[in-house]
Amino acid sequence: MRVNNARLDKLAKPYLGRLPGRPTKDGDEFAIELGQYRAASWTRSYRLVLVVVDLPDPKTGLRQLFPHYFFLVTNWQAERRSAWGLVEHYRKRGTFEDRLGEFNAVKGAVCANAGNPPRNSPFSRLPPGPRPGRINSQRLVNNPR
């Protein structure tokens, strides 16, 4: 979802133009430090990084008419991570969160069925209590390994 912000778009405009001549075949991808930014409703300012992605389409090899861009608004200090370092950090974090979501989706399906196994399941004949797929948190707290 793209939310238009005229003030941010104005800050990005000088960095969105392409150099005259034929563009590189590989495309461009870069991050620009824009300094501190504070929206009217915020209590303090945050670091603002512009990320420009101007890569060719993998199927056609052609670029879009205008480059794609977005902003990172963060409280990371510039001394701790460079602008491009932030992009890499958040990409890794996004990949991790995707994998965690996939894991939870699978685990949730298994754990949801652990409490009410189907009638033909070997677990349906077990007495109530901890079963495979169910975590006994009390045991983990009392007997840490």
pTM of the model: 0.63
Is residue 100 included in any domain, yes or no? Answer: yes
pLDDT confidence of residue 11: 93
Task: Give the residue with greater pLDDT, 114 vs 45.
Answer: 45
Instruction: Look at residue 96 and give its three-state secondary structure.
Output: helix
Question: pLDDT by residue (tens digit) across 93-122?
Answer: 877 777 777 777 776 655 555 555 555 555
Is residue 145 included in any domain, yes or no? Answer: no
Tokens of 127: 């007495």
Which structural domain range is residue 84 located in? 6-125
Length in residues, the chain:
145
Instruction: Look at residue 60 and give its three-state secondary structure.
Output: coil
pLDDT confidence of residue 136: 44
Is residue 13 included in any domain, yes or no? Answer: yes
Is residue 50 included in any domain, yes or no? Answer: yes
Structural domain tally of the chain? 1
Residue 35, pLDDT above cutoff 90: yes
